[in-house]
Amino acid sequence: MADQQPIELYYYPTPNGWKVSIALEEMGLPYVMKPVMIGQGDQFKPEFLSISPNNRMPAIIDPDGPDGKPISVFESGAILQYLGRKTGKFYGKDERQKVAVEEWLMWQMGGLGPMAGQAHHFRQYCDEQIAYAIDRYTNEVNRLYGVTNKRLEGRDYLADDYSIADMACWGWIVPFERQGQNLNDFPNLKAWFERMGERPAVQKGFELGRELRGDLARDSEQTRKAKAVLFGQKAKK
């Protein structure tokens, strides 16, 4: 695929962004990163909304679509499925394996991602510390970690082989401490997390765009302005 036009990856380094950057690296697809500065409101620009109507990144434009014409895809799970079908990689070798991959991909999309995101939000970003919300989502993430830990007992990956389901879940475990979790409580999950982190493509996909984050991880004016854009919170002086 060396002569293929690169896929345009509309991206910011978050767990959902990492899913796709890791997949592109694992699949050996040429791509070019198009930064979406979510703290500055790039996701609301008309040109981005034309390919991602829910104003969320990541999104892609593949110049070499299914009919030889460009195609845009939004929603990280849909992108992973598209790339898996396009390359025939990491999506299961038969229908039974494909079902397993899709089960755990949908589990991440409907459970792990949203619940971990809410835990992270109420623990780290919400100006008002709401004990009920913090406990609710921290406990639910703990339960989901337990589901993953049980699934990984006696197996290396979530489906029979390494797949897009693993790529989807890994980034959501990266900020486990901010979600109020201790990986030592989940030995199978911890081993899987470390196993994944040793893969060169995972490392490269994870590092993509690290510089875009700037000082958003710190309590700064930039952080406060970004929160106003992302969460509708008023920037405090």
| Distance from C-alpha of 30 to C-alpha of 21, rounded to nearest angstrom | 11
Residues of the chain with pLDDT > 70: what percent?
Answer: 89
Q: Give how far the C-alpha of residue 74 lies from the chain's centroid of Cα atoms, to the nearest Å.
A: 13
What strands, in cross-sheet order, belong to the sheet with 7-11?
31-35, 7-11, 59-62, 71-74
- Helices 187-197 and 131-151: crossing angle, nearest 10°? 80
Query: DSSP label at 91?
Result: S
What mean pLDDT is predicted for residues 3-23? 95
Cα gap 9→122, rounded to integer Å: 29
pLDDT in tens, 103-152: 999 999 999 999 999 998 899 888 888 999 999 999 999 999 999 999 99
Average pLDDT value for the chain: 91
Phi, psi of 71 (to 5 degrees): -135, 140
Q: What values do phi and psi take at 12, rounded to 5?
A: -145, 145
Domains defined along the chain, listed by start:
7-89+205-225 (3.40.30.10), 95-198 (1.20.1050.10)
Rounded mean pLDDT, 67-90: 97
Instruction: Tell me what pLDDT residue 229 has.
Output: 57
pLDDT interval class at 213 (50, 70, 90):
confident
Q: Is the pLDDT of residue 234 over 50?
A: no
